[in-house]
Amino acid sequence: MNHQIVQALKTVLLVFVSAALGQLMAYGGSVFDLGSGEWKGIATAGIAAVIALLYNWLNPTDARYGQGADIDEF
């Protein structure tokens, strides 16, 4: 798999998991208590992950992947 794609997927996964855990901690419940609307906050965390990916992809100074990456390097 392309190194840039792997780096992008790692970013999405890291941001999503971090934001989802933060949401769960803020709600004060457990993973099994998502029936009363808390899933919306976790879905929002997924959207934040995609926004972070797009920002990094379009950022010309970010050398990990996207517009600023040197694809000949890998």
Element (DSSP H or E) covering residue 53: helix 39-58
This prediction has a pTM of 0.59
With 50 as the cut, is the pLDDT of residue 74 above it? Answer: no
Q: Which tens digits make up the pLDDT trace of 17-66?
A: 888 777 777 777 666 666 666 777 777 877 877 787 788 788 888 877 77
Q: What whole-number distance in Å separates Cα of residue 10 and Cα of residue 23?
A: 20
3-state helix, strand, coil in the chain (%, to 5): 65, 0, 35
Angle at 31 between CA 26 and CA 35, to 5 degrees: 90
Whether 67 shows a pLDDT value over 70: the answer reads yes
Chain-centroid distance, C-alpha 72: 25
Hey, where are the domains in the chain? Answer: 3-65
